[in-house]
Amino acid sequence: MEKRLLNSPQPTDANNDSTIAEMFLNNVMIDFRKKTLRQEIDQSLQERNKEAFIRLTEELKRIC
């Protein structure tokens, strides 16, 4: 059982909602970036652009 002091600040639902919303937005942004990178990687392969391919795949590895 969690113990709380009477005078200590208590977490509010607004703080929890804000944290959840921030986590959700971060996940959406990461998913969007992954999708964009995959499209750019496909394009670099079609164009046979080795430098772009390497750069983009390295970025994709970092965020996965």
List the chain domain ranges: 22-63
pLDDT at 2 over 70: no
Distance of alpha carbon 7 from the chain centroid: 36
Structure tokens at 63: 């965020």
Residue 13's pLDDT band, with cuts at 50, 70 and 90, is confident
Percent over 70 (pLDDT), the chain: 81
Total-model pTM: 0.74
- Write the pLDDT tens digit of every residue in 45-63: 999 999 999 999 999 999 9
Q: Identify the three-state secondary structure at position 23.
A: helix
Nearest Cα neighbor of 22 from 32, 30, 10 is: 30
